[in-house]
Amino acid sequence: MSTVLSLARDFIERLSNPVYGQAVNEDYGMRLAALLRDEEFARQLNEEVAQLDDPSAFTSFGWLWLMGWARSKNLTLPASLLITLFDQSSSVFVRSAILDLAVDAEPVEATNIQDVREFPDRFLATVMAAAVERDGAQGFAPGERRGELERLERLPATTAAEATLVSLLQIAKPKTLSAASVLLRHKWKGEAELNVFFWTLANALDDETRREWLARVSAQGPKNGL
Amino acid sequence: MIGATIRSAVENSIHSYEESRLASLLAEFDRPWAIKFVPSRWAAAYVSPGRLKISETPALTWGTATYVTPISFPLSSALYGRIGLVTPFDATGWRIFDATQAPARAAYVNWVRVQPAFSDLILTVHSTHANHLLRNRFREEFAIDCVLFHPDQEAEIHTDRGNHVWLAVTDWAATRRIDSGMSFRLSQAKFVVLIDEEFALHESNGLPIQQSPRIIERVTETIATRSCMEVTAARADPTLSHSIISHYQSNAYLHVFIEP
């Protein structure tokens, strides 16, 4: 990490981490702003931010601030770094912030795509593939009826896919909604559970909002046996 | 991805500046003015007009914004420091979301409830950041230039949570994203007010304080005998030591002040 970024890192951590308290957060926000009045410092910082590749360079609070900064200043962070951060985070909101930064507002044609790995946006294809590959190992046959405990043990863990789906929906860009549709129809062992999850969310909405969701995301109805 | 009823409830709570409560609050002044108190270490930075800092920290009421008070409530934000920075601003055409009104607050809550990540907001430990991101998203989605809200922290006597109004002002970056850094909308701020009082920002348990007692005046008002001395005179006064001892012996206090 360069000198400028090393210096800025301490400031960024102290201005972004609620553990330090609002007074410290605000104070360091002002201090960093004072440094950023120097155009050369700001230019160098922006340049170095765009070249970051180490996911351990900041805490999640620091990354969230940095992503907000990058977003407002129209900076890009390396896709490989964002994919790693996305994979490491369990927070839907961190994931949403990453998607918001990584995905542009352009639409994409994905109506006929059934497999997340074939999604035209490589970033989205990668994070969706990671979500279904990691958690789908422990499957069970649809309609299988055994003891409840055994069945629960064999349910595929869809946690990562659910968090990815929610993040895609939350950002609600044309591309992320297309990706959500593909994720919901992707054939994997957690497909049915993920669709049930989606419908559980959708059914909790008022009628108008649910219609809005369904108009923009194509999802299958919940499958039986769940 | 929200239904028409929720959307129109939000839109109904957004008014142009000219029709807003903010315009009425500032009607008696030649133009809109705002004030913001900051810690005294920043006084020197605002001897000449400068841009206020956009607050980006997560634990703020309405997300990333410049938090100020209309000049109509001049001491309302004294909780945050002894230096009052004052700036004029141009609010022409601003879209104002008036969260001092219950229907507006309900509209926001209903908007939050139908967000895909709503469950994660209320069921995980990430709620501080979650709220921050959702508030930013809400303001971007509805192109809100300014949120009016009642203070949620109070400096004893100086702040009236029920009647005072504070502002969260949005600066926009390209493509209608909320900007960070320094504000262009509140950009003529000067050090204008120095107040002889301090407040604690946190409870002893570390949580943000709700009502902060006056630290200095609460004590001085209990001391019957007081006197004051201008600071340059005090520094040059060869009898100052004796005067201080005399104040001690007569249960008085001496206020060494900066000449305005």
Residue among A26, A33, A163 minimizing CB distance to B182: A33
pLDDT tens-place string over residues A92-146: 999 999 999 999 988 888 888 999 999 999 999 999 999 998 654 444 455 555 5
Q: How confident is the model at residue A224, as a pLDDT?
A: 38
- Measured between alpha carbons, how far is B85 from A156 in angstroms, rounded to an integer? 58
**For residues A22-45, average pLDDT:** 88
Are both A86 and A55 inside the same structural domain?
Answer: no
| Closest C-alpha among B98, B14, B56, B115 to residue A36 | B56
pLDDT at B211 over 80: yes
Q: How confident is the model at residue A220, as a pLDDT?
A: 57
The pTM (predicted TM-score) of the whole model is 0.87
Are both A86 and A161 inside the same structural domain?
Answer: yes
pLDDT tens-place string over residues B13-38: 999 999 999 999 999 999 999 999 99
Are both A31 and A135 inside the same structural domain?
Answer: no
Provide the domain count of chain B. 2
Are both A121 and A177 inside the same structural domain?
Answer: yes
Length of chain B, please? 260
Are both A35 and A131 inside the same structural domain?
Answer: no
pLDDT at B224 over 80: yes
Are both A21 and A96 inside the same structural domain?
Answer: no
- Domain holding A41, by residue range, is 3-77
Q: How confident is the model at residue A102, as a pLDDT?
A: 94
pLDDT tens-place string over residues B86-97: 999 999 999 999
By C-alpha distance, the chain A residue nearest B52 is A30
pLDDT at B144 over 80: yes
Q: Which of residues 97-156 of B touch A (CB under 8 A)?
A: 114-117, 119-120, 124, 126, 128-130, 133, 136
Q: How confident is the model at residue A69, as a pLDDT?
A: 87
CB-CB contact of B110 with B67 (8 Å): no
**What does DSSP assign to residue B172?**
B
A92 contacts B129? CB cut-off 8 A: no
Look at the block and give the residue holding tokens 């549709």. Answer: A181
**Residue B36: strand pairing partners:** B85
Are both B168 and B237 inside the same structural domain?
Answer: no
Look at the block and give the residue holding tokens 């009425």. Answer: B24
Q: What percentage of chain B exceeds 70 in pLDDT? A: 99
Question: Exposure of B209 by Cβ count < 10 A (0-12 exposed, 13-18 middle, 19+ buried)?
Answer: middle
Residues of A in contact with B179 (CB under 8 A): 72
Are both A39 and A113 inside the same structural domain?
Answer: no
Are both A12 and A51 inside the same structural domain?
Answer: yes
B1 contact A CB<8A: yes
A212 contacts B129? CB cut-off 8 A: no
CB-CB contact of B71 with B29 (8 Å): yes
Residue among B80, B120, B180 minimizing CB distance to A93: B120
B5 contact A CB<8A: yes
| Alpha helix segments (H runs only) across chain A | 3-16, 22-36, 39-49, 60-72, 79-88, 92-102, 122-135, 148-154, 159-171, 174-185, 191-203, 207-216
Which of A28, A45, A92, A177 best probes binding to B when mutated, by most B CB atoms within 10 angstroms? Answer: A92
- Alpha-carbon distance B104 to nearest alpha carbon in chain A (angstroms): 19
In a domain, B211, yes or no: no
Are both A88 and A164 inside the same structural domain?
Answer: yes
Are both B183 and B236 inside the same structural domain?
Answer: no
Are both A83 and A54 inside the same structural domain?
Answer: no
pLDDT tens-place string over residues A141-161: 555 555 555 555 555 578 889
Provide the domain count of chain A. 2
C-alpha pair distances (Å), B118 with each of A62, A67, A205, B123: 23, 21, 11, 9
Are both B44 and B135 inside the same structural domain?
Answer: yes
- Domain holding B86, by residue range, is 4-194
- Measured between alpha carbons, how far is B154 from B163 in angstroms, rounded to an integer? 12
Residue at a domain's end among B179, B194, B209: B194
| Closest C-alpha among B41, B128, B201, B56 to residue A19 | B128
**For residues B136-163, average pLDDT:** 94
**What does DSSP assign to residue B197?**
-
Are both B31 and B119 inside the same structural domain?
Answer: yes
Specify the DSSP element, H or E, that contains B23. Answer: helix B21-25
In a domain, B215, yes or no: no
Residue at a domain's end among A52, A77, A102: A77
CB-CB contact of A186 with A128 (8 Å): yes
B133 contacts A22? CB cut-off 8 A: no
| Closest C-alpha among B242, B225, B235 to residue B258 | B235
B59 contact A CB<8A: yes
Q: What is the DSSP secondary-structure string of A147-193?
A: -HHHHHHHS---HHHHHHHHHHHHH--HHHHHHHHHHHH--STTHHH
In a domain, B158, yes or no: yes
Are both B158 and B252 inside the same structural domain?
Answer: no
Residue at a domain's end among A77, A94, A122: A77
Are both A141 and A215 inside the same structural domain?
Answer: yes
Residue at a domain's end among A77, A103, A127: A77
Are both B158 and B241 inside the same structural domain?
Answer: no
pLDDT tens-place string over residues B73-85: 999 999 999 999 9
Residue at a domain's end among B175, B194, B213: B194
Are both A98 and A156 inside the same structural domain?
Answer: yes
